[in-house]
Amino acid sequence: MSMTGRERLLNALAGKPTDRPSVISACQYASYELMDATGASWPEAHRDAELMATLSGKGGAEIIGLDAIRAPYCQTIEAEALGAKIKSGGKTHIPSIAEHPCKLDDTPECPADFLERGRVPVALKAISLMKERYGDQVLVMGGIGGPFSIANSMIGITPFLKAMFKTPDKIKPFLEVGLEVAKKFGQAYIEAGADAIVIEDMMASLDMISPKNFRTLAAPYEKELIASLDVPVILHICGKLDKVMLDIAETGATAISVESAVDVPAAKQAFAEKGYKTAIIGDISPSGVLLSGTPEEVKEAVHDALKRGVDIISPGCAVAPSTPLANLKAMVAGALD
Amino acid sequence: MAKTAEELNKELADAVVDMDEELVGDLANEVIENGYDPLNAIDQGLAKGMDEAGKLFEEEEYFVPELLMCSDAVNTGIDILKPHIHLDDAGERHKIVVGVIEGDTHDIGKNLVKVMLSAANFEVIDAGRDVPPEVFVDTAVKEGAQIIMIAALMTTTMDRIADTINLIKERGLEGKIKVVIGGAPISPAFAKKIGADAYSINANAAVRIAREMLG
């Protein structure tokens, strides 16, 4: 019996049987070829709900054939709504933060009208359009930053990391605001029709911070955020995570999205010993395989990931926009045979 | 009794590893007051300390925040020692351009590479972050740099690095200007595919690669 992408992914997230392995892209998957194919391109699609819904929805569900579709593409929406100056990326780049909105000594706060600011309404509207058009076939996922990542986007990662040593008390208010912003945004996505939330806490990576700092400054806020969201939650963190995989599972996330730097068999075994059901999503390399490889190599990487115990196939991180469409399709094809 | 130059250098290295910016400042001043060789204090003190910190990073004892604190200490030391270096003593220093690819504003790795290279006595020209290909190439040509080091911290920006490499080819500078790339999303396979001369896994490796390239 063939399943819809939606049924397949929901089953996979719940640890139930599926007709074939589920394939999604936990992080952004818009590519230049996808823009050409859908007629919805950057930079307009960053600021226009209809175009965002078309590029993400049509592109993800119809053209690539993913089991879930998501918006937005970049990680600057929260920072912009909190007052950051944003530089447009034009057609070929994603928007970036030109100026952080706060200094370490400021007292940050979550604006009461956060949901009406900047591109927040655009992303919310896009999700509701995607739900309307594709909600019966695929899972619709709203993307937010993690509290740790939102907090450091407010003052910049370097001052933030230094303050973790020198004046840890000063970063707490930023983490609190990061949490409040993420909760608001996540709940608004759910009200707009999102079936699931993807939290990208990319800066809480062990490429950036120690396991100890992860446990004290990232995980507790992720846990509180996840508890506040009444839908399946995927937590994506980049890089090497072996030392904190159990801590991540203990945040209560339904699934963890990881890169190939993570030892998946070891994590699966550690989860099994603890009785954790957390699904692992990943870990097809966006640079080594999807961008640089052939469709055959992509399929091999999918087979290899499944062999290592990856539960749901996805690029390990955001898809580079010049990634060949044939490779994104091969990621789905790899799960068919 | 005054400390010997060797003792001070050792203390400088330890203070860098211990992330003690204030102590590094005091020790650097002591080097000057005693009339010891400031270049030697950078090379045998600060750079050794940073090298040790880099090793601790590779062993996953230190993480990026620790390296940032160490590099602040190195910078403080260099700022005090540098004005006392006679240019003749320093010899000719090789120039390296460092920067973050256009569209990417995550400059943490680039800044660490910069400190490591400076401590290793390279002259580093910092092109900053969000750097277009022509700025990388123009800067290297203007400064007479033989190496450009480009960082990308996001998978969504890394694919633009090829633009800089292609521009070097277009201008017939291939071989004259070498490109080293690095950053979290970059893999050796990707570096090879886009024609970079080398892939650097971290800031420590960047110094080793620069030394090899420049003999």
Domains in chain B (CATH in brackets) are: 5-89 (1.10.1240.10), 92-213 (3.40.50.280)
Q: What percent of chain A has pLDDT over 70?
A: 100
CB of A71 closer than 8 Å to CB of A123: yes
Report the pLDDT value the prediction gives residue B125, as an integer from 0 to 100.
96
B128 touches A at CB < 8 Å: no
Report the pLDDT value the prediction gives residue A110, as an integer from 0 to 100.
96
Report the pLDDT value the prediction gives residue B43, as an integer from 0 to 100.
87
Amino acid at residue number A322: S
Indicate whether A2 pLDDT > 80. Answer: yes
Select from A92, A96, A238 the Cβ nearest to the Cβ of B104: A96
Q: Which chain A residue has its CA at the smallest distance from B57's CA?
A: A207
Sheet containing A139-145, strands listed edge to edge, beginning at the edge strand earlier in sequence = A22-23, A312-315, A279-284, A255-257, A233-236, A196-200, A139-145, A68-71
Specify the fold of A5-333. TIM Barrel (3.20.20)
Q: What percent of chain A has pLDDT over 90?
A: 92
The C-alpha torsion from A117 through A120 and A121 to A122, rounded to 10°, is 130
Q: What average pLDDT does the segment B143-158 reach?
A: 92
Task: Give A313-326 pLDDT, tens digit per residue.
Answer: 999 999 999 999 99
- Residue B59 and residue A243: Cα distance in Å, rounded? 13
- Residue B143 and residue A278: Cα distance in Å, rounded? 53
Chain pair A-B, CB pairs under 8 angstroms? 100
Indicate whether A16 pLDDT > 70. Answer: yes
Q: Which spans in chain A are helix H?
A: 5-14, 32-38, 44-47, 49-53, 77-81, 120-134, 147-155, 157-166, 168-192, 211-213, 219-228, 245-249, 264-274, 295-307, 325-333
Half-sphere exposure of A270 (CA within 13 A, CB side): 16
- Residue B192 and residue A144: Cα distance in Å, rounded? 34
Q: What average pLDDT does the segment B160-177 reach?
A: 94
Indicate whether B144 pLDDT > 90. Answer: yes
Q: What average pLDDT does the segment A78-99 reach?
A: 91
Which ipTM was obtained for this model?
A: 0.77
Select from B60, B63, B154 the Cβ nearest to the Cβ of A208: B63
Q: Which of A28, A96, A148, A289 to mutate to test the interface with B (most CBs of B within 10 A)?
A: A96
How is residue B48 written in tokens?
Answer: 């050794």
Indicate whether B1 pLDDT > 70. Answer: no
- Residue A142 and residue A199: Cα distance in Å, rounded? 9
- Residue B135 and residue A218: Cα distance in Å, rounded? 37
DSSP secondary structure code for residue B94 in this structure: P
Distances (CA, A) of B77 to B30, B50, B66, B120: 11, 12, 17, 13
Sign of the torsion formed by the C-alpha atoms of A68, A73, A76 and A80: negative
Q: What average pLDDT does the segment A29-38 reach?
A: 97
CB of B102 closer than 8 Å to CB of A93: yes
In chain A, domain spans: 5-333
Could you tell me which residue, B91 or A15, shows the higher pLDDT? A15
Indicate whether A174 pLDDT > 80. Answer: yes
Report the pLDDT value the prediction gives residue A1, as an integer from 0 to 100.
64
Report the pLDDT value the prediction gives residue B88, as an integer from 0 to 100.
61
Indicate whether B32 pLDDT > 70. Answer: yes
- Residue B156 and residue B69: Cα distance in Å, rounded? 29
Cβ-Cβ contacts under 8 Å, A100 against chain B: none
Amino acid at residue number A226: I
Q: What average pLDDT does the segment B16-42 reach?
A: 95
Report the pLDDT value the prediction gives residue A93, as an integer from 0 to 100.
81
Could you tell me which residue, A240 or A12, shows the higher pLDDT? A12
- Residue A26 and residue B108: Cα distance in Å, rounded? 25
Report the pLDDT value the prediction gives residue A170, as an integer from 0 to 100.
95
Average predicted confidence (pLDDT) for chain A: 96
A96 touches B at CB < 8 Å: yes
Task: Give A179-209 pLDDT, tens digit per residue.
Answer: 999 999 999 999 999 999 999 999 999 988 9
Report the pLDDT value the prediction gives residue B89, as an integer from 0 to 100.
60
Which residue, A117, A183, A126, is CA-closest to A150?
A183
Report the pLDDT value the prediction gives residue A180, as an integer from 0 to 100.
98
